[in-house]
Chain A
Amino acid sequence: MPQLPKLYDQSPVLTEDTFQCTGATKKVVVFLTKEALSLTVNIPTKILSEEFPLPASKEEIRYFLQSQRIGTHFFIMAPWDEASEIFDICMEEGMSESEIQIHILGAKRRFVYCMKCYTRKEIASDISHTQCNCGAHLEVGPYFSSLRQGYIGYPFHPSTNSKGVDLHACSGTN
């Protein structure tokens, strides 16, 4: 079973702006919470659109997605956790990332995956180093794993720091 994409803070589905139509867009479904009701979504008049109010149960969302036709794109306006959950359901139902755009209400969340103890820790968006709960000092790399649901955390020895190795280059065997 393939690993499905996960939402992360640099995901290509995230948008700061309003929904962008593509040539393949036949219809837009806007998932939106009460907080998003006051926001404007610019959708060309020739494109069919429909609102799906949140909150809703996973089953309701899944059932709704299963009834949508090809060419339907999804614009999700919700806080991180809710948007992430809807994104997961979309992936499980066979939608692709190119059919989804997400506008996060509030803060995005970011995690580092410790390569020493294989656990995940939430971090602020602007930090490059952290210490894991296991004690390992980690440099936060630029690569994200959907399976591990975090950015790679390279362990380094605190007395030597990480100079001498280009951590950003460390993800291949060639």
Chain B
Amino acid sequence: MFTQNLDFKTTDLDTFPFPFQSGNYRYSNDLRKLENVNCIEITPEYELQVKAKRRLLEEQPDVRFQALPGTDEFQWEVLEMLIGMAVERYPEHFSLEKDGNTWTFENRIFNEKDTFTFGDSSTLAYAPLNYIGRHFHNDFVLMVHRDNNFYLEVGQVSYAALFSAHWNAGMSFDEIHAPVPFVSRKGDHLVERIRKFLLSINPGEPWTRINWNLMADRWDVNYETMDIWEPQRELITPENAGKLVHLRVEEQKFYRMPRSNAVLFVLNTQFLPLEDLKLRQEWFDLTYSVLQDIPPAMAEYKGIAPFLPQSVEFLKRESESR
């Protein structure tokens, strides 16, 4: 059975998407153009993360993957894009042979080779996105564009942060984000602004933003396990926060799919225990500054209120002991 204890961390700090630019964090429409449009990344933790993700998908298929009927064609388009990116960036790890519609995809890291008929889902063991998603450590969410809004119609989610692919399936962008309470300085609702922005994304010009959270010794926190992780958060103390509390960073990338017109969310989730922030003093200082300045409403929304004071106390003690 998959253990939810967080037993891995990012070891190559150069690939860790550190989220803070200043010592004061507030919500904003922080989308920016993605410089490297290729979302496939092989990190030192690739195998560990992919194996853990596959285990979750096997043990909790209904929790971790959802696809509404009629989305196969959209999923094939995503499969084609991801394979293309993988082969282009890492030809030593991935290859694709095409013989008409007969495709053979090889993942040499896992020593796996699959042959299928492009466009025919019956030739795959899983739905197209559920199949290709098992070769990369990312989460994938496909939001279908309809009536000036986006609807979650396909999702493979193994790193939930107060989220559930099962629950959110079929919902609009606005419904999914209904609880987001934040407004801009001008009084605009943040979710509406971001939705409008996403509507303007063009094919070939992906955008990105970085989301962050804290995790109390958990791989993820979804609604399904709320009764388990909620009390666990009370176990955090200033003494153990350095090891158990992780800065969870979710690098979000948004791609407009040219054929379906849907927007694909590619989420790269990485973790760094608070004690490892000391490896980069600037990161430590920024994180300490941000965390001690989090407004109570934001701490509640992010679900970190029960262990934020202990985390800040750990950082304070470390700072004073320097």
Per the bound structure, the CA–CA distance linking A144 and B139 in Å amounts to 24
The distance in angstroms between the C-alpha atoms of A97 and B162, with both chains bound, is 29
Q: Flag whether A171 is at the interface (Cβ < 8 A).
A: yes
B153 engages A115 (CB within 8 Å): no
A156 touches B146 (CB 8 A): no
Number of interface residues of A (CB under 8 A): 32
Known: A1-B70, A174-B180. A165 touches B231 (CB 8 A): no
Contacts of A171 in B (CB 8 A): 162-163, 167-168, 176-179
Q: At the interface, yes or no: A157 with Cβ under 8 Å from chain B? A: yes
Q: Across the interface, which residues of A come within 8 angstroms of B163, CB to CB? A: 171-173
A143 near B175 with CB under 8 A, answer yes
Q: What total of A-B pairs shows CB separation below 8 Å?
A: 115
Name the B residues within 8 Å of A147 (CB-CB). 68, 169-171
A97 to chain B, nearest CB (A): 12
* A1-20 contacts to B (CB < 8 Å): 1-3
- Report B-chain residues with C-beta under 8 Å of the C-beta of A162: 230
Contact partner, B146, options A2, A152, A155, A165, Cβ 8 Å: A2
How far apart sit A36 and B175, CA to CA, in the bound complex (Å)? 34
Measured between alpha carbons, how far is A2 from B142 in the docked complex, in Å?
13
Taking a contact as CB atoms under 8 Å apart, the answer to whether A164 and B226 are in contact is: no
Check A26 for interface membership: any CB of B closer than 8 A.
no
Does A137 interact with chain B (Cβ within 8 Å)?
A: yes
Interface string of B142-170 (1 = CB under 8 A from A): 00101000010100000011111011111
Is A118 among interface residues, defined by CB-CB distance under 8 A? yes
Residue of A nearest to B166 (CB): A118
A–B pairs, 15, beta carbons within 8 Å: A3-B170, A115-B224, A137-B227, A143-B179, A145-B168, A146-B171, A152-B167, A155-B224, A155-B226, A155-B227, A164-B233, A165-B305, A166-B300, A172-B180, A173-B211
